[in-house]
Amino acid sequence: MVGAVRRHLEMIVLILSGLLLAGGAVCWWSGAPGVAEALWVAGTVLGLVFALAATVQAARHRRPTVDIIAVLALAGALAVDEPLAGAIITLMLATGQVLEARADARARRELSLLTERAPRTARRLTESGVVEVPVDEVGVGEHLLVRPGEVVPVDGRLTASATFDESALTGEPDPVERPAGDDVRSGVVNGGQPVEIVTTTTAAASTYAALVRLVEEAQAASAPFVRSADRWAVIFVPVTLVLAGAAWWAAGDPVRAVAVLVVATPCPLLLAAPIALVSGLSRAARLGVVIKGGGALEQLARATVMVVDKTGTLTRGHPAVASVVTEGGAEDEALRLAASLDQMSAHVLAGPIVEAALARGLTLERPEGVEEVHGQGVAGTVGGSRVRVGRPTWIVGDGPPEWVTRVRRRAELDGSMTVLVEIDGTPAAVLTLQDPIRPDAPRMMRALRDAGIDRVVLATGDRADVAHAVGRIVGVDEVLAECTPADKLAALSREAGRGSTVMVGDGINDAPALAAADVGVALAARGATASSEAADVVLTVDRVDALAQAKSVARRSRRIALQAVAVGMGLSLVAMVAAALGYLSPTVGAALQEVIDVLAIAIALRAVLPGRASGPELTAEEHEVLRRLREEHDGLGPLVERIATVADAMSTQAPDLAEARALADALETELLPHERADEERLVPIVARARGTREAVAALSRTHAEIEHQVTRLRRLLESAPAPADAETVIEARRLLYGLHAVLRLHNAQEDEDAFGLIPVPHA
**For residues 53 and 115, which has the higher predicted lDDT (pLDDT)?**
53
**For residues 716 and 110, which has the higher predicted lDDT (pLDDT)?**
716
CATH number assigned to the domain comprising residue 521: 3.40.50.1000
The DSSP secondary-structure symbol of 389 reads: E
**Predicted pLDDT of residue 103:** 47
Mean pLDDT for all residues in the chain: 79
- What CA–CA distance (Å, rounded) separates 153 from 190? 11
506 is catalytic: no
Q: Final residue of a domain: which of 485, 509, 540?
A: 540
Cis, peptide link before residue 723, omega less than 30° from 0: yes
Q: CA 514, 515, 516, 517 torsion: positive or negative?
A: positive
Contacts of residue 737, Cβ cutoff 8 Å, sequence gap at least 6:
644, 647
- Count CA atoms closer than 13 A to 28's CA, side-chain side: 13
Q: Are residues 475 and 425 in the same domain?
A: no
Q: If pLDDT is split at 50, 70 and 90, which confidence band does 455 have?
A: very high
Q: Are residues 101 and 238 in the same domain?
A: yes
The verdict on residue 626 lying in a domain is yes
Q: Are residues 568 and 443 in the same domain?
A: no
Q: Are residues 744 and 718 in the same domain?
A: yes
Q: If pLDDT is split at 50, 70 and 90, which confidence band does 107 have?
A: very low
Q: What is the pTM of this model?
A: 0.66
Residue 761 has pLDDT above 70, yes or no: no
Q: Are residues 523 and 378 in the same domain?
A: no
Per residue in 530-581, pLDDT (tens digit) is 555 667 787 766 677 788 888 888 888 888 888 888 888 888 888 888 888 8
Residue 314 has pLDDT above 70, yes or no: yes
How many independent structural domains does the chain possess? 5
Ranking 210-224, 314-328, 359-373 by mean pLDDT, the lowest is 210-224
The DSSP secondary-structure symbol of 493 reads: H
Report DSSP letters for 551-589, one per residue.
Answer: HHHHHHHHHHHHHHHHHHHHHHHHHHHHHHTTS--HHHH
Residue 615 has pLDDT above 60, yes or no: no
The verdict on residue 423 lying in a domain is yes
| Span 397-420, average pLDDT | 82
Q: If pLDDT is split at 50, 70 and 90, which confidence band does 607 have?
A: confident
Residue 106 has pLDDT above 60, yes or no: no
Q: Final residue of a domain: which of 199, 220, 241?
A: 220
Q: Are residues 325 and 424 in the same domain?
A: yes
Q: Which of 104, 165, 174, 309 is catalytic?
A: 309
The verdict on residue 309 lying in a domain is yes
Q: If pLDDT is split at 50, 70 and 90, which confidence band does 113 have?
A: low
Beta strand pairing status for 519-523 and 537-539? parallel
Q: Are residues 452 and 532 in the same domain?
A: yes
Ranking 445-454, 494-503, 594-603 by mean pLDDT, the lowest is 594-603
Ranking 108-112, 404-408, 431-435 by mean pLDDT, the lowest is 108-112
- What CA–CA distance (Å, rounded) separates 629 from 674? 8
Q: Are residues 127 and 213 in the same domain?
A: yes
Per residue in 69-92, pLDDT (tens digit) is 777 778 877 877 778 877 877 887
**Predicted pLDDT of residue 636:** 83
The verdict on residue 547 lying in a domain is no
Range of the structural domain that residue 500 is part of: 289-316+437-540
Per residue in 179-228, pLDDT (tens digit) is 777 778 887 888 778 888 888 888 777 766 766 665 555 444 443 334 55
Q: Are residues 187 and 79 in the same domain?
A: no
Q: Are residues 327 and 373 in the same domain?
A: yes
Q: If pLDDT is split at 50, 70 and 90, which confidence band does 96 have?
A: low
**For residues 583 and 209, which has the higher predicted lDDT (pLDDT)?**
583
The verdict on residue 113 lying in a domain is no
Q: Are residues 650 and 752 in the same domain?
A: yes
Q: Are residues 311 and 445 in the same domain?
A: yes
